[in-house]
Every structure is written in C-alpha cells, then in structure tokens.
Amino acid sequence: MNAAAYRSIIVSYREGSPIRLEELGQVIDGIEDDKAASWFYKDGQSKRAVVLAIQRQPGTNTMSVTGNVKKLLPTFRNELPPRWT
C-alpha cells in the first residue's frame, strides 16, 4: 500500500547477488506519473485541462455507458477545484 513495501523487491540478479528496487533509484510514495499534463485551447488561450478517459467494457451497451457518463458529469465538475470549472 506504500512505496516502502516495494523497496526490497528483487528485480534481477547479477553474479548471484540480488538487485533490489531501492538500489536502482528512489522509491517514493506518489502518483503514477507526475510529469504528465494536459491543455486545451479556449478563447484564444491555452488552458490546463483534466482528462477523463472512459472505455466501454466488452459486452456493455455503448449508448447506456454514454448516458450514464453524461449523468455523472455534474458530479465530476463538483469535485474539481473552482479554477477547473
């Protein structure tokens, strides 16, 4: 559940000695990718964006999924800080 739990994981062996994840770099608690960002173009300006990627699961109805996502959009907007809405 945290980075410390992964530090001692063996990722390889060299000359019979284990190489642990902590030997290859920093193992820290954080999000998967803190270097990615998104922007959109509005009113002649480039603005930061939040991307919501939705994928339909096999065997589901596309129209139903679309309708349910549209119903949830106000909830998503309410969860964002004011500068994003």
Contact by Cβ (8 Å): 56, 65: yes
Name the strand (E) or helix (H) holding 75: helix 62-79
Do 24 and 5 share a domain, yes or no? yes
What per-residue confidence (pLDDT) applies to 4?
A: 92
What per-residue confidence (pLDDT) applies to 67?
A: 93
Containing structural domain, residue 14: 1-31
Q: Is pLDDT at 77 greater than 90 in this prediction?
A: no
Do 42 and 83 share a domain, yes or no? yes
What per-residue confidence (pLDDT) applies to 50?
A: 82
| Per-residue pLDDT tens digits for 19-69 | 999 999 999 998 777 788 889 888 889 988 888 888 888 999 999 999 999
Q: CB neighbours of 24 closer than 8 A, spacing ≥ 6? A: 11
Q: What is the DSSP letter of 66?
A: H
- Band (pLDDT 50/70/90 cuts) for residue 80 is confident
Maximum pairwise Cα distance, the chain: 61
Q: Is pLDDT at 15 greater than 90 in this prediction?
A: yes
Alpha-carbon separation of residue 45 from 10, 21, 48 (angstroms): 48, 43, 10
